[in-house]
Amino acid sequence: MTAASLEVRGVSVGYGPVRALNSVSVDVPEGAVVAVLGGNGAGKTTLLRAVSRTLRFHGGTIGSGTVSFAGRRLDGLTPAQVVAAGVVQVPEGRQVFARMTVADNLRAGALGAAGGRRAAAEAQARVHELFPVLAQRAHQRAGLLSGGEQQMLAMGRALMARPKLLLLDEPSLGLAPLMADRIAETVREINAQGTSVLLVEQNAAIALRLASSAVVLEVGEVVLAGDADELAASDEVRRRYLGITDDPGHPGAPEGAGAEGVSEGAPHPAAPLRRWSA
């Protein structure tokens, strides 16, 4: 295990009688971007909540399994302790404090983080460098920002805690393609500066472009896991998550894309993907 890797092992989660995750395992090696794909209700957000220890705010509990970061168990910690350990979640739907200014939203992100005032000032400079618009609009209410700018603010707020691992929940949701691309570019930059990312996305094309590996969740279970390239080439992922239907006889079909991927129920001689049955 590398110094700051996340290890989720056999985690099951329920909301009362509703089973939302069933023995899910996923790794985020230090420095990696790992994507979590899956349709509505698959359990993607629940997985992030299990890591950030925020499940109980939503009526959820971990039934079994372990979550470790940098060799330290996170299960058992409070959400604030998870942040202090370097793991910070950007929630689905941004959840910026709409009536507070952009600057105050960023300040809120530094609360409880290690390092004090000087560290917060450094973090703010980094956030402003990444998202100049947040400096320009520092004194405006966050609720007046566009959707894309609010996503930048939500990410900026998380970065104020100087995370080693960022948990990103559908950052591109509801954004115009150009803005979604900009956000994706920033995720790449954040990662290049040394922050690992666990990226939940319904936009599989974006996710698989950014990530080195990915897992696919279906009804609370990991049904596929592998390198992002391999997943992007698999029939099942192309059909279900990339909206691509290959006509094998089509002259324009990319070479090898139709025949070599994994398809459900079919034998797959060159199967590059592991099916996890934890």
Ligand X SMILES: Nc1ncnc2c1ncn2[C@@H]1O[C@H](COP(=O)(O)OP(=O)(O)OP(=O)(O)O)[C@@H](O)[C@H]1O
Instruction: Catalog residues that contact ligand X under the rule CB under 6 A.
Output: 15, 18, 20, 38, 40-46, 58-59, 92, 202
| Shortest distance in whole angstroms from residue 202 CB to ligand X | 6
Of the pair 41, 71, the CB lying nearest ligand X is at: 41
Strand-pair category, 18-28 with 165-169: unpaired
58 binds, among ligand X, Mg ion, none (CB under 5 to 8 A by kind): ligand X
Element (H, E) at 37: strand 33-37
Taking a C-beta distance cutoff of 8 angstroms, is the pair 252, 242 a contact? no
Q: Which amino acid is at 221?
A: E
Of the pair 133, 219, the CB lying nearest ligand X is at: 219
Of the pair 31, 43, the CB lying nearest ligand X is at: 43
- Reported residue count of the chain is 278
Which residue from 87, 59, 88 is spatially nearest to 73, judged by alpha carbons? Answer: 87
Of the pair 75, 92, the CB lying nearest Mg ion is at: 92
Residues 76-135 that bind Mg ion (CB under 5 A): 92
| Shortest distance in whole angstroms from residue 169 CB to Mg ion | 6
Chain residue whose CB lies nearest Mg ion: 45
Taking a C-beta distance cutoff of 8 angstroms, is the pair 240, 224 a contact? no
18 binds, among Mg ion, ligand X, none (CB under 5 to 8 A by kind): ligand X
| Shortest distance in whole angstroms from residue 274 CB to ligand X | 21
Q: What is the DSSP letter of 70?
A: T
Residues 36-55 that bind Mg ion (CB under 5 A): 44-45
In order of 10, 167, 237, 245, 256, the CA distances from 250 in angstroms are 42, 39, 19, 11, 12
| Shortest distance in whole angstroms from residue 173 CB to ligand X | 8
| Shortest distance in whole angstroms from residue 98 CB to ligand X | 21
Distance CA 25, CA 47 (A): 10
Handedness of CA 260, 264, 267, 272 (dihedral sign): positive
Handedness of CA 86, 92, 95, 96 (dihedral sign): positive
| Shortest distance in whole angstroms from residue 45 CB to Mg ion | 3
Of the pair 169, 236, the CB lying nearest ligand X is at: 169
In order of 10, 15, 93, 155, 278, the CA distances from 88 in angstroms are 21, 22, 15, 10, 26
43 binds, among Mg ion, ligand X, none (CB under 5 to 8 A by kind): ligand X
Of the pair 70, 197, the CB lying nearest ligand X is at: 197
Of the pair 18, 144, the CB lying nearest ligand X is at: 18
Number of residues in contact with Mg ion, rule: CB under 5 A? 3
Q: What is the DSSP letter of 249?
A: T
| Shortest distance in whole angstroms from residue 149 CB to ligand X | 22
Residues lying near Mg ion in the complex (CB under 5 A): 44-45, 92
